[in-house]
Amino acid sequence: MKIQTTTEGECLVVAISGSADVNASAVLREALLSAIEAGSTRVVCDLGETDFIGSDALGVLITAYLKATGRGGFVKLANPQTHLTEVLETTRLNCLFDVYPDVPGALASV
């Protein structure tokens, strides 16, 4: 898994590529939570290149969501491909997160 962050206006876009499996979730946790704690509380996760996600990484996204919303910000999800969309629907996390078909759509919603 690779994580690339860019800033778009007041938002931090976190592009997660590869497999967000249990062994990668610690890296994801560090990247997201440290950014939020440093003040980047408006976060869009670009899942366009994420080919796998397990429950550990889902837990990281939820923890980031709680931390960001607790500070007046948000974590939005963008561009999940078929398998990730199915996971979000199966877990009903699409009811917790705002999910957008692409990053510009997520940014435009802010």
Partner 1 sequence: MTANLPKTDDRGAWIERVLATNLAEIRPAERDVLARLKELAYDDDHLFAVRLAFEEALVNAMKHGNQSDPNRSVRVRYRVSPECVEICVADEGPGFNPGAVPDPTANENLDKPCGRGIMLMRCYMDKVEFTPEGNEVLMVKNREP
Query: Does 72 help bind partner 1 (rule: CB under 8 A)?
Result: no
Query: Does 52 help bind partner 1 (rule: CB under 8 A)?
Result: yes
Query: Does 92 help bind partner 1 (rule: CB under 8 A)?
Result: yes
Query: Does 74 help bind partner 1 (rule: CB under 8 A)?
Result: no
User: Min. distance of Cβ 53 from partner 1 in angstroms?
Assistant: 8
In one letter, which amino acid is 64?
A
Query: Does 87 help bind partner 1 (rule: CB under 8 A)?
Result: yes
Reduced to 3 DSSP states, what percent helix, strand and coil does the chain have, rounded to the nearest 5? 45, 30, 25
The Cα–Cα gap between 62 and 20 comes to 14
The Cα–Cα gap between 24 and 27 comes to 6
Neighbours of 10 (CB within 10 A): 11
Nearer to partner 1, 35 or 107 (CB): 35
Tell me if 61 sits within 8 A of 44, measured CB to CB: no
Query: Does 22 help bind partner 1 (rule: CB under 8 A)?
Result: yes
| Token digits of residue 34 | 């440290």
Query: Does 17 help bind partner 1 (rule: CB under 8 A)?
Result: no
The footprint of partner 1 (CB under 8 A) covers 21-23, 52, 54-56, 58-60, 62-63, 65-66, 83, 87, 90-93, 95-96
